[in-house]
Amino acid sequence: MNRPAAALLLLLSAAAPAAAGEDVVLKAMSDEMRRTAQSLQMDSLDRPYFVSYYVMDSTEDSISAVFGSLRDDRRYISRDATVDLRVGTMSFDSSGYVGQDFNGYKPGTDSLNEEDGYDALRFSLWSLTDDAYKKALEKYSQKKAYQQKKNISELYGDLSAEKPESYYSDRERTEPFDAPAWRANLKALSAVFRKYPKIQGSQVVFSRTLRTVRFVNSEGTRYRYWWDKISLDVRASVQDRTGLRLSDEKKYSWRSLAAVPPFEKLAAETEAFARDMSYLVDSSSAEVYLGPVLFEDQAAAEFLNQLFVRNVSFARVPWADREDWVRYYIDSGDLAKKLNMRVLPAFMNVTDDPGALAYEGVELNGSYPIDNEGVRPAPLELVKNGKLTGFYMSRAPVKEYRSSNGHARGFLNEFPTPRPGNVFFAVSPEKRAPLPALKKELLRLAAENGLDYALLVRRLDPEDAKKSEDLLAGPMLAYKVSVKDGSETIIGGAEWTGVTFRALRDILLVSDKDYVYNFYQPGPFLYDRGYVPVSIVAPAALLVQEMELKPTDSKPDRQPYLPHPYFGAK
């Protein structure tokens, strides 16, 4: 037996702590891992030097309603596995190479049997591992040829050395779930749209998902923990008076049922959402605008997410035979290239702390105890006095950092990549002001620039709705604010133009209150996009010195020939 294999077996034999208890799934994972490390080799080809298994158990209750009636009411139970198997060495291995497989850059995944049958679990993991090994051998050979062809000499390694970890956390009890009550709630929330005949389509979707994740790797790391996802999505679509189709979705997410607001609050917010969507039908058409912009609540958080957080994520880009393909299925952290340079105003600091569970009584969805590669995260400084001092890292080294900071995250269908957890934006007190003072300064700047109105944005489209070439998604709820009297007029059909990272440095003033934004960040791979829970704690409003808006390039469509059946003549 060669020394690397012997070392793997030594780690594996000592890595099944008593905390695992009688966990049949974890035992099957560990035993098949041990057999893989000891025996897997094809002819005289390389044997695996690293293997990990990630298994997720999921039970989801999903209810949806349209116009006061239930549409779906289902329960999904699943158990899925992902394997990361590598041949080569930590310095250069089979990972991070796309080749010509445009849609296939993803880990090996498969469904496992839902019952805890040890032999059936072993069989499924064996089959998955065998397939992953054959693909890894092929990728390794192709990657070496690619390196020689491109004469790539600047290499930083493919897997950082990290200490083995053990972590176990089990759910003490499951929160009671009153399905009949939620069915009634969904019917009532969806019935709100009956009051708004200008809305063409609407739906309300609720889901409650209980998850348990398990992980083992050939270095001796083991973990098991649970996390729950509670979500409510309120969707609507309209056509404005020109025929332009406009769709929006208000998404809520919580870590527990106890964190869900009272029904009355949800109903009021659904009513406000429906009212705003209805107003968009008769909205004023967007014009070319160049001037100050005030972002509030969700728009302020999405502004920081899409321009800053997204661009200190996904630090390393895989190799591809055609480099022009890369931009279609992976985003890279463009701001990571500006390490030790000013990327935000000097009065702003940013940290990420996945260990934080709540902020001012609001649960933070981005909390996690250990990342997808088995590395424990610690508080991470990203920005100090406006200068970028760090960015997210997985176990894939880059020029600036050769080890992980515990931010490798991803879903089953994607490789873990460097991503956020709980992001905190801290601002010097002298740059904070009440919202009325921000609006007053907004109008002063607009008047100073000779404008008749200023721009206020309360909702931005989410990042997965923006064009791949854009840095910032377009505004969904934007308003002209009259310099003369402060009145607000909703506008529709607009998009940004010429947005650069300069917009971050152009933040002049922020509100004196913070906003907790819990959301799901999409991954970098456009063809197999996974989502992970993230939280941003940031000022509830941001005043930006100058941005440019223009009418959308999207084309209008014809209005429906018949009216909505509920509101039309019976």
Q: What is the pLDDT of residue 8?
A: 45
Q: What is the pLDDT of residue 15?
A: 39
Position 162, amino acid: E
Whether residue 100 contacts residue 323, with contact meaning beta carbons closer than 8 Å, is answered with: no
Q: pLDDT above 90 covers what percent of the chain?
A: 78
SS3 516: strand
| Residues paired with 91 in a beta bridge | none
Residue 500 pLDDT more than 90? yes
Whether residue 216 contacts residue 234, with contact meaning beta carbons closer than 8 Å, is answered with: no
pLDDT average, residue stretch 492-509: 95
pLDDT average, residue stretch 353-361: 97
Q: What is the pLDDT of residue 354?
A: 98
Q: What is the pLDDT of residue 331?
A: 66
Confidence of residue 324 (pLDDT cuts 50, 70, 90): confident
Confidence of residue 330 (pLDDT cuts 50, 70, 90): low
Q: Return d(Cα 300, Cα 513) in angstroms, integer.
A: 12
Q: What is the pLDDT of residue 557?
A: 82
Q: At 384, phi and psi to the nearest 5?
A: -130, 120
Residue 201 pLDDT more than 70? yes
Confidence of residue 10 (pLDDT cuts 50, 70, 90): very low
Q: Return d(Cα 79, Cα 64) in angstroms, integer.
A: 23
Q: What is the pLDDT of residue 568?
A: 65
Q: Return d(Cα 87, Cα 152) in angstroms, integer.
A: 19
pLDDT average, residue stretch 205-210: 97
SS3 205: strand
Q: In terms of Cα–Cα distance, which of 38, 28, 44 is closest to 7?
A: 38
SS3 195: helix
Q: What is the pLDDT of residue 570?
A: 53
pTM: 0.93
**Strand 507-511, strand 453-460: pairing:** unpaired
CA distances from 540 to 62, 271, 375 (A): 31, 22, 32
Helix, strand and coil in the chain, % to nearest 5 = 25, 35, 40
Q: What is the pLDDT of residue 528?
A: 72
Confidence of residue 566 (pLDDT cuts 50, 70, 90): confident
Q: Which segments within 67-128 are labelled E, that is strand? A: 69-87, 97-99, 108-111
pLDDT in tens, 110-154: 999 888 899 999 999 999 999 999 999 999 999 999 999 999 999
- Tokens at 161, concatenated: 């050395």
pLDDT average, residue stretch 326-331: 67
Domain 3-226 -> CATH class: alpha beta
pLDDT average, residue stretch 321-334: 73
Q: What is the pLDDT of residue 16?
A: 41
pLDDT average, residue stretch 193-199: 94
Q: In terms of Cα–Cα distance, which of 481, 462, 483 is closest to 473?
A: 462
pLDDT in tens, 388-422: 999 999 999 999 999 999 999 999 889 999 999 99
Q: Which residue has the tokens 């839902």?
A: 114
Q: What is the pLDDT of residue 329?
A: 62
Confidence of residue 67 (pLDDT cuts 50, 70, 90): very high
Helices then strands, counting H and E runs in the chain, come out as 9, 28
Whether residue 493 contacts residue 557, with contact meaning beta carbons closer than 8 Å, is answered with: no
Q: What is the pLDDT of residue 459?
A: 96
Whether residue 422 contacts residue 356, with contact meaning beta carbons closer than 8 Å, is answered with: yes
SS3 101: coil
Q: At 528, phi and psi to the nearest 5?
A: -140, 70
DSSP 142-185: HHHHHHHHHT------SS------EEE---S-PPP--HHHHHHH
Among 27-36, 99-108, 454-463, 561-570, the minimum mean pLDDT is found in: 561-570
Q: What is the pLDDT of residue 317?
A: 85
- Distance of alpha carbon 377 from the chain centroid: 18
Strands of the 514-522 sheet, one edge to the other:
387-388, 380-384, 348-352, 422-427, 531-539, 514-522
Domain boundaries, the chain: 3-226, 285-551
Whether residue 339 contacts residue 361, with contact meaning beta carbons closer than 8 Å, is answered with: no
- Distance of alpha carbon 195 from the chain centroid: 34
Q: In terms of Cα–Cα distance, which of 68, 98, 75 is closest to 192?
A: 68
Whether residue 300 contacts residue 540, with contact meaning beta carbons closer than 8 Å, is answered with: yes
Residue 334 pLDDT more than 70? yes
Quote the DSSP letter at residue 88. B
Q: What is the pLDDT of residue 311?
A: 94
pLDDT in tens, 237-295: 999 888 889 999 999 999 999 999 999 999 999 999 999 999 999 888 889 999 999 99
Among 5-14, 66-75, 419-428, the minimum mean pLDDT is found in: 5-14
**Greater model confidence, 10 or 277:** 277
SS3 378: coil
Confidence of residue 9 (pLDDT cuts 50, 70, 90): very low
pLDDT in tens, 450-498: 999 999 999 999 988 888 788 999 999 999 999 999 999 999 889 999 9
Measured at the CA of 464, the angle between CA 459 and CA 465, to 5 degrees, comes to 60
Residue 4 pLDDT more than 70? no
Q: Return d(Cα 249, Cα 271) in angstroms, integer.
A: 13
Alpha helices (H) in 298-434, listed in sequence order: 298-307, 326-329
Average pLDDT across the chain, whole number: 91
Q: What is the pLDDT of residue 78?
A: 96
Q: What is the pLDDT of residue 142?
A: 94
SS3 224: strand
pLDDT average, residue stretch 352-357: 97
